[in-house]
């Protein structure tokens, strides 16, 4: 029998941010901020999910958009504003964030969950890309 597990909407992002906080000193502080923002967004997403399933309003439904913006801003700071502005990851994050916000407004749990997959993957991939660049051996 497996212990009860809480849902997580940002498992990839939280995992790579946790790994980055244990890695290069150059990336540690920024990764810590990404991790804190990811954990706060994940808590809000879990509460929002419960409200969507219950068909009710909650503080998390109102708080989630600002938590997602904070996570995107922390990621931008971590990877560098110039890199972030030119990356496809930023566009994917923005599109997924709009889908999440629409799903919350419409009360669409399926769309909410699906959009979070793309959001989580885009943020996590951006974090890993920078880790790989910084930690790769120089020729």
What confidence tens digit (pLDDT) does each residue in 76-97 have?
999 999 999 999 999 999 999 9
Residue 133 pLDDT class (50, 70, 90 cuts): low
Region 13-40: what's the mean pLDDT?
88
The mean pLDDT value of the chain amounts to: 89
Three-class secondary structure of residue 99 per DSSP: helix
- Please state the pTM of the whole predicted model: 0.89
pLDDT for 1 beyond 50: no
Position 20 scores a pLDDT of: 87
What is the C-alpha to C-alpha distance for residues 50 and 48, in angstroms, rounded to an integer?
5
> Is pLDDT larger for residue 88 or for residue 132?
88
What span, in angstroms and rounded, lies between the C-alpha atoms of 81 and 131?
Answer: 16
3-state secondary structure 33-97: HHHHHHHHHHHHHHHHHHHHHHCCCCHHHHHHHHHHHHHHHHHHHHHCHHHHHHCHHHHHHHHHH
State the average pLDDT over residues 113-118. 96
């Amino acid at each position: 029998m497996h212990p009860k597990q809480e849902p997580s909407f940002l498992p990839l992002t939280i995992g790579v941010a946790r790994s980055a906080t244990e890695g290069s000193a150059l990336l540690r502080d920024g990764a810590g901020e990404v991790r804190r923002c990811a954990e706060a967004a994940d808590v809000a997403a879990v509460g929002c999910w419960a409200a969507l399933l219950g068909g009710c309003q909650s503080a998390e439904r109102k708080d989630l958009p600002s938590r997602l913006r904070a996570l995107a801003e922390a990621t931008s700071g971590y990877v560098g504003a110039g890199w972030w502005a030119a990356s496809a990851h930023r566009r994917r994050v923005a599109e997924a964030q709009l889908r999440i916000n629409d799903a919350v407004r419409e009360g669409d749990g399926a769309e909410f969950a699906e959009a979070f997959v793309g959001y989580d993957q885009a943020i996590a991939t951006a974090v890993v890309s920078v880790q790989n660049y910084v930690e790769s051996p120089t020729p």
